[in-house]
Amino acid sequence: MRRSLITLLDFVALANLVKCIPVSKPHFYWEKTKYFIAFGDSYTYVQGTSGYPNYSFIGSYLPNQFSFTPETLLADQIVQNFTATAEGGPNWVEYLTGCGLHNGTLPQSCDIQLWDFAFAGAGVSEAFLPLHHDFTVPLVNQTQQYLSWAEPVIGGRNMDKSSALVAVWIGINDINDSVNQLTGIAFREFWDRIVSAVFEQSVKPMYEAGYNNFLFVNLPPLDRTAANQKRLLPRPSKAEIGWWNRALEKQSKAFAQQNTNVKTMFYDANTFLNGIMDNPGTYGITNTTNYCPAYNQLDVLTDPNKYGCQPLDEYFWYNSGHM
Ligand SMILES: *[C@@H]1O[C@H](CO)[C@@H](O)[C@H](O)[C@H]1NC(C)=O
Ligand SMILES: *[C@@H]1O[C@H](CO)[C@@H](O)[C@H](O)[C@H]1NC(C)=O
Ligand SMILES: *[C@@H]1O[C@H](CO)[C@@H](O)[C@H](O)[C@H]1NC(C)=O
Ligand SMILES: *[C@@H]1O[C@H](CO)[C@@H](O)[C@H](O)[C@H]1NC(C)=O
Ligand SMILES: *[C@@H]1O[C@H](CO)[C@@H](O)[C@H](O)[C@H]1NC(C)=O
Ligand SMILES: *[C@@H]1O[C@H](CO)[C@@H](O)[C@H](O)[C@H]1NC(C)=O
């Protein structure tokens, strides 16, 4: 293993010396991005008219809902309303792409097409932790779903893959379920293995299908949820969040090093969101310690006082686990 790596690096170094060219990575231009393919959990899922209600854009893990036809995929519309995300309105992929901000959006009608296979409640794989529900599609199966039934329709030769970005935001349920359900486990090594599965079983197959641009988002400050702020010892702790995040950053760099025509990008959501919590006023946020208990009542938007709440967008936390 080590021997062949050295040989490969020597070869690359030699080739560059001889040809006098730098090792080049594909350039990534957001302005040229036409396809945004997303995988993950509730933070990222969008509601589709052919999705599992409150959980997905399309299908579920139930045997008769795992596959879908080209017709179903191409007729599937992104629903936008108070309950169509886990945030009480548009989520990060919808804001970023501008796709799905309005109710009834066909992804293929957007300038940046959002194809979102994230499933609320997902972890990386059922090989590591139990599914939240029998219908929950884990990350490694979301990419299977995409490659089996979406790639032949919207990908393949129809898509210029240099203008596609594959985004993965995962781990929130893995780390939370680990600390809540497992004992006597060395979490650092365990999560390192889970992160390896992200690259082996999801990123690599996407790369082999021709995708070169990858965006990874790290874990938010789950050590500072409303519940954790009241605990002497938050679970997960800041250190535990750091273990997952360092494994992700390290393996994301390694994947790019091992595959010359791959560009991996890493978004440090953790630092950004901790910054908001430390300086909430800059963002118009006044409450970082609690969430409104009536967050899921439709009229809380128009009458927060009725529930003893402030307007929802003044809270950092939307509920026990979402922003
Ligand atoms: C979706 O979630 C909302 C808000 O929690 C709930 O009112 C609604 O019943 C759920 N829909 C289904 C089909 O479970
Ligand atoms: C949001 O859309 C879903 C799916 O169309 C629907 O079932 C639900 O009632 C809607 N919720 C609201 C608050 O409009
Ligand atoms: C939102 O779009 C869906 C899909 O087209 C549609 O079924 C639903 O009625 C729309 N909701 C509203 C409030 O317009
Ligand atoms: C989900 O992926 C795992 C790992 O590749 C595999 O063992 C399992 O069979 C997949 N599930 C389905 C329904 O294909
Ligand atoms: C934060 O929100 C909770 C729930 O609405 C409320 O009880 C608490 O007083 C608020 N704290 C601050 C500092 O506004
Ligand atoms: C973590 O798990 C607890 C207990 O199941 C749940 O209440 C909480 O919402 C979860 N947090 C996140 C961030 O998912």
Residue 81 belongs to a domain = yes
Please report whether residue 319 resides in a domain. Answer: no
Q: Looking at the CA of residue 176, tell me the nearest atom of ligand 6.
A: 1
Q: What is the pLDDT of residue 4?
A: 43
Rounded to an integer, what distance in angstroms lies between the CA atom of residue 46 and that of residue 100?
Answer: 8
Q: Does the pTM exceed 0.85?
A: yes
- Which pLDDT value is given to residue 8? 41
The answer to whether position 187 is within a domain reads yes
**What's residue 50's pLDDT?**
98
148: phi then psi, degrees, rounded to nearest 5: -75, -45
Nearest alpha carbon, ligand 4 atom 4: 140
Give residue 139's Cα distance to chain centre: 9
Residue 113 alpha carbon to ligand 6 centre in Å: 31
User: Residue 196 and residue 247: Cα distance in Å, rounded?
Assistant: 9
Q: What is the largest CA-CA distance in the chain?
A: 73
For residue 237, give both structure tokens: 């702790």
Return the structure tokens found at 308: 């003893």
* Ligand found nearest the CA of 322: 6
Q: Which domain holds residue 236?
A: 3-314
- Ligand 6 pocket, residues with Cβ under 6 angstroms: 172, 176, 180, 222, 320-321
Taking the C-alpha atoms of residue 235 and residue 317, their distance in angstroms, rounded to an integer, is: 17
- The atom of ligand 1 lying closest to the CA of 54 is 1
3-state SS class at 112 = coil
Question: Residue 308 CA: which ligand 5 atom is closest?
Answer: 5
> 25: which DSSP letter?
P
Nearest CA to ligand 6 atom 2: 176
Kindly state the DSSP code that residue 37 receives in the 8-state scheme. E
Residue 268 tokens, joined:
């440090």
The pLDDT value given to residue 260? 86
User: Tell me, what's the pLDDT at 9?
Assistant: 43
Tell me if the bond preceding 26 is cis, omega within 30° of 0.
no
Q: Answer whether residue 193 is part of any domain.
A: yes
Closest ligand 3 atom, residue 49 Cα = 4
Q: Where are the beta strands (DSSP E) in 117-196?
A: 164-169
Which tokens in the block code for residue 261?
């025509």
Ligand 4 within 6 A of CB of 141: yes
- State whether the beta carbon of 287 lies less than 6 angstroms from ligand 5: yes
Q: Is residue 102 in a domain?
A: yes
Structurally, how many domains does the chain consist of? 1
Dihedral sign, Cα of residue 127, residue 130, residue 134, residue 136: negative
Around ligand 2, the residues with Cβ closer than 6 Å are 79, 81-84, 298
For residue 273, tell me if it sits in a domain: yes
Residues of the chain with pLDDT under 70: 1-24
| Domain annotation covers residue 62 | yes
Ligand 5 midpoint to CA 290 (Å): 6
CATH assignment of the domain containing 239: 3.40.50.1110
* 160 exposure class (CB count in 10 Å sphere: 0-12, 13-18, 19+): exposed
**Whose CA is closest to atom 4 on ligand 6?**
180
- Whether 206 maps to a domain, the answer reads yes
Residue from 176, 219, 322 whose mutation best tests the ligand 6 pocket (most atoms within 8 A of CB): 176
**Residue nearest atom 12 in ligand 5 by C-alpha distance:** 287
pLDDT at site 27: 82
Beta bridge partner(s), residue 165: 36
Helix (H, G, I), strand (E, B) or coil at 156: helix
Phi and psi angles of residue 224, each rounded to the nearest 5 degrees, phi first: -120, 25
